[in-house]
Amino acid sequence: MRIALIGQAAFGEKVLEALLAEGEEVVVVYMPPDTAAAKTNTFKELAMINDIPVRQPARMRDPEVYEEYKTFGAELNVMAFVTDIVPSTILNHPPLGTIQYHPSLLPRHRGASAINWAIINGDTKTGLTIFWPDEGLDTGPILMQVEVPIDPDDTVGSLYFNKLFPLGVDAIVQSVRLIKEGKAPRIPQDLTKGEYEPLCRDMKIDWMYPVNIVYNVIRGCNPSPGASTAYQGQTFKIYDCEKRAVSGPEKPGTIREVTPEGFLVASSGGSIFVKRVQPAGGAKIPASEFASSVQLKPGDILG
C-alpha cells in the first residue's frame, strides 16, 4: 500500500520502521522543520536511507504543500504524533483516507495534553485510539482502541514510553492491515462522554490540597511541563518525587526534613518527598543540591 506518513520524533521513526518491516510502500514522509538545537534527526535519516522523500514544511496547510502532496499518489495517510494542523484537502485526498494515533480512549481526553490530564485527574486507566480524523479536534470515527492501566506511581514519561508508545506503534500496524483487508471499522464517537482539554502548562502546586491530588499534579506534569512551587519568592518546578503516608502537625507546604536524597514536604493527609527539581532558568538538578543552594531547612514554607 502506498502510504504518506506524517509524524515526528521517536514515535514517527518507530512507525516508519514498523511499516517498512511490514513491506508497505511509504512514498513520502512529512515532519516538522529541523530546529537549531537539534543534534540529529534519526527519523529523517531513516527515511533518507530508504530513499523516501522527506518534506519539512513550516505549515502543512500552506497551499503549495497540498499541490506537491498530490504528486506522491498516496493511498492512505498515517498520522503518527502530529502537532500541526493538517488540512481537510490532505486528510480526504487518499482513496483509503487518513488514520491518526491519539494517546487516550476517545472521546475522553481530547487535545494535545491527553496523558497529562488523565494522570492529573486521578484516572486509573487510559489507552490509545486509532481514529479517522475529520475537521474537528480528535472527533473522527474510531478504528481501534487499546486500554492500559495507569499505575499509582506512573508519570507522563513512564505511561507514554512504557505503554502508549510501543502499543501505539503496534496498533497503527494492525490498523493498516485491517484497512488492506477491508475490515477497518468507523465507529462514531459519542462526544457527550468526553471533553476537549486545553494544553497542560503553568501548573502550580497548592499544598493545601489532599496529598493524593498534589501527587497526581506533580506526576501528571513529569517530565513536561513540570509542576511549580516557590521558596522565598523563587519559583522552581518539581519532577521526581514520592508520596508518603507520614503526616504531622505542620502546615501544608512546610519542609519537614532535608536529607542527602531530597526533602520532605508536608501536605494534607501525607507528605511528598522531592527528589528532582528545576530552578527557574536552570537545568533539572537533584533536590538535595537545590536545598543546599538555597539553604532550605525544616520549618521553611513552600508556595
pTM for this one? 0.96
pLDDT above 70: residue 38: no
Q: What percent of the chain has pLDDT over 70?
A: 99
Q: Give one DSSP letter per residue of 141-154, joined into a string.
A: PEEEEEEEE--TT-
Tell me the pLDDT tens digit for each residue of 64-98: 999 999 999 999 999 999 999 999 999 999 999 99
73: left (phi over 0), alpha (psi -120 to 50) or beta: left
Q: φ and ψ at 248, to 5 degrees?
A: -155, -165
- ω before 225 within 30° of 0 (cis)? yes
Contacts of 92-99 with CB under 8 Å at 24 or more apart are 93/66, 93/69, 94/4, 96/1, 96/179, 97/132, 98/132, 98/133, 99/130, 99/131, 99/132, 99/133, 99/143, 99/172, 99/175, 99/176, 99/179
Domains and CATH numbers, the chain: 2-193 (3.40.50.170), 203-294 (3.10.25.10)
Angle of the 9-21 helix axis to the 42-49 helix axis, nearest 10:
20
Residue 39 binned pLDDT confidence (cut-offs 50, 70, 90): confident
Tell me the pLDDT tens digit for each residue of 109-164: 999 999 999 999 999 999 999 999 999 999 999 999 999 999 999 999 999 999 99
